[in-house]
Structure 1
Amino acid sequence: MIIVRPIKTSDLKALYQIAIDSGHGFTSLPVNEQLLQQRISLAEESFSKEVSQAGKEGYLFVMEDTETGDVVGTSGIEAAVGLDDAFYHYHLGKVVHSSRELNIYNTVETLSLCNDYTGASEICTLFLSNSHRKNNNGRFLSRFRFLFIAEHKERFSDTIIAEMRGVSDNEGRSPFWNWLEEHFFSMDFPTADYLTGIGKKEFIAELMPKYPIYVNLLSKEAQDVIDKVHPQTVPALRLLEAEGFARRGYVDIFDAGPTVESNVNNIRSVNQSKRCQVIIDEVQSTDNYIICNSKVEDFRATQAPLSLRDTANQVVISQAVADALMVSAGDWVRIISN
């Protein structure tokens, strides 16, 4: 059975391999064992603490194949970004240059450095091994987070964001960063990406242009990738758009990939998920659902067929699913159709 659970210290080796496999542009998982251990320690602390409002917590989950015990993917939520380190974006805006006397009117797009998403919750760190990119596992690994958020809203902000990976080539070269590198940074994209991933962000404030950048002054290659996603990221973007996420003109400062956002109550899997009481019995239905328990430190989620008794707010699940979720008859679970 495939389950999702909180990460633990014994998952370090698997997480390190995921960091290698994820490649360039995956800033949140640097290939650095010490930093990955720190990430795991923060997650263990976050899952175990009592929380009444969003703070510096970082929730990191892993997908496990219980038949083999292998960790095959990871997925995370940051409760409130930018509280310790500045959280930068470019905001796309417009400047109008006009002359009534000459009858000239030009609208020019600009990129302005900002920290507008400080305090927002971020869904992040989504990666699934090639061997398990089947049976809706990718959708499950993304969407279960919204059930966790719905069950524990006090732990998160009203605004939920996701940074989409921008355009780069197989060597990690970003056309957008190439222009910035030439004029401001003298540092290649993988290096800048890595420094950000390990928390060394001072160089951004020190070297990034302080004034709005006129987009039409960028190279044609850089202009073409602004607000565009990496081809491998298109399915993830489509899934989030179906959940109610939308672009608001914010792009990543390194690869210019879009950031999408939604109010927590407008996310489909948050407002359409249901809390149901567990009945353990044989399941007659073949309808597949994402199911999670109502716990934090012992959180578990899986996808499985179930029988729904809407009028009584009850759900029938098999004994195997109940065991995987660590629930008993009478406990509460949250479900959404997958």
Structure 2
Amino acid sequence: MTFVVRAAHDGDLPHLYEMAKLTGGGFTNLPADRTALTAKLARSHAAFARDDNDLADEQFVLMLENVVSGDVRGTCQLITHVGQKHPFYSYRIGTLTQHSRELDRTFRAEMLSLTTDLEGASEVGGLFLHPGERAGGRGLLLARSRYLFIRRHRARFADRVLAELRGVIDEAGGSPFWDGLAGRFFGMNFQQADEFNAINGHQFIADLMPKHPIYTAMLSDTARAAIGLPHPSGRAAMRMLENEGFAFENYIDIFDGGPTMTARTDQVRTIRDARDATVDAVGDGPGGVEALVATGRLAAFRCAYGRVADHDGTVTIDPECARALGIAAGDAISWIGRL
């Protein structure tokens, strides 16, 4: 309970940059580029500063901080409305079935079709936890804090939400999917494309890639095997998304072939099942349960683990959580039991 998720501010640039250098590449929401990260923080600052309920093209950056030491050990992001500045492209995996009467055979060919089906959805992403902190439920705290943020600002988010998972990257830092498909159309290797993509976005790929469907049988075995698979480090994140109600519906990233998970926003488990309540007391009351607790709006948003005793609309919260969140009796919270 010594960790709290809070809104990012300009002073977090060094923390974001240090974490970006640890991602190992292919993590486009957290590029190891100070200029790009500065722009990301500026965009987040503007989003936190706008206090109305209109849906717009915005990005919120949250940080995981140790309230005792002040160390920042993780980050995550929310994008409210993808595909507004540039089209939001994905590949959709489909099947074409054809039958030959002369051969008495039916052929089923898997195809990748370029699509903007997910345009207009909200996105949760950019989740990175320092390697030394991947224990004690801190990854879940970061991930689920995004859903409590959405619940507390529901009008600022779309009715559909997606999450893009990083695809397979080999030991040499290359992408089998990139090498087998997109790399054949560009004069750069995956590492070069990864750096350009992280700073400038992947619109350049969509601009130059062929728009007609691509038969996966024409790809190399390694490229085909990577389609829709998450990076090994993202398997736990995929399970967390599935536990929240996200599903893989045959959409993949056009850059590295990683899976795109989708859900109806109001059916995401944490958003749907969380409760809103007023704090009636701070103390170690009987009947408390371990919970994820959020309070505040926009830049004042904070989220932490705590112990909550429910009294039919009012709650008692343990003192450590109350201190971490800066709340007292009479304040409003959203909470849900800890998994």
Q: TM-score with structure 1 length normalisation?
A: 0.95
Deviates more, 1:274-283 or 1:76-85: 274-283
Percent of aligned positions that are identical: 36
Match of 2:336 in 1: 336
- C-alpha change, 1:172 and 1:151, in structure 2 (3 Å) is same
Alignment match of 1:301 (pick from 303, 317, 320)? 303
Match of 1:29 in 2: 30
1:3-152 alignment to 2 at 5 Å?
3-152=4-153
Contact 1:47/1:296, CA 8 A, preserved across alignment:
yes
- C-alpha change, 1:55 and 1:170, in structure 2 (3 Å) is farther
- C-alpha change, 1:205 and 1:133, in structure 2 (3 Å) is closer
Q: Cα offset for 1:155?
A: 0.5
Q: Cα offset for 1:269?
A: 0.5
- RMSD across aligned positions (CA): 1.5
- 1:192-249 residue CA offsets vs partner (Å, 9 max, x unmatched): 2222221254421332122100011111111111111111111110111011000111
Cα separation, 2, equivalents of 1:209 and 1:67: 53
Q: Cα offset for 1:286?
A: 6.0
Cα separation, 2, equivalents of 1:226 and 1:200: 21
Cα separation, 2, equivalents of 1:64 and 1:41: 20
Cα separation, 1, equivalents of 2:77 and 2:202: 21
Deviates more, 1:279-288 or 1:266-275: 279-288
- 1:99-126 residue CA offsets vs partner (Å, 9 max, x unmatched): 2233221010100111111111000100
Deviates more, 1:218-227 or 1:184-193: 184-193
What SS does the corresponding residue of 1:91 show, helix, strand or coil? strand
Contact 1:248/1:260, CA 8 A, preserved across alignment:
yes
- 1:279-317 residue CA offsets vs partner (Å, 9 max, x unmatched): 2332145632110004212111100122222x2x11111
Contact 2:6/2:63, CA 8 A, preserved across alignment:
yes
Match of 2:327 in 1: 327
**Which amino acid is 2:318 matched to?**
S
Any stretches of 5+ residues in structure 1 without a counterpart? none
Cα separation, 2, equivalents of 1:280 and 1:146: 25
Deviation above 3 Å: which 4+ runs of structure 1? Answer: none
**Which amino acid is 2:273 matched to?**
Q
Any stretches of 5+ residues in structure 2 without a counterpart? none
What SS does the corresponding residue of 1:306 show, helix, strand or coil? strand
Contact 1:97/1:105, CA 8 A, preserved across alignment:
yes
Deviates more, 1:30-39 or 1:193-202: 193-202
What SS does the corresponding residue of 1:63 show, helix, strand or coil? strand
Contact 2:182/2:205, CA 8 A, preserved across alignment:
no
1:106-255 alignment to 2 at 5 Å?
106-255=107-256
Deviates more, 1:325-334 or 1:105-114: 325-334
Match of 2:267 in 1: 266
Cα separation, 2, equivalents of 1:191 and 1:327: 47
**Which amino acid is 1:75 matched to?**
C
Cα separation, 2, equivalents of 1:220 and 1:128: 32
Cα separation, 2, equivalents of 1:40 and 1:171: 31
**Which amino acid is 1:140 matched to?**
L
Cα separation, 2, equivalents of 1:19 and 1:36: 9
Cα separation, 1, equivalents of 2:172 and 2:9: 32
Q: TM-score with structure 2 length normalisation?
A: 0.95
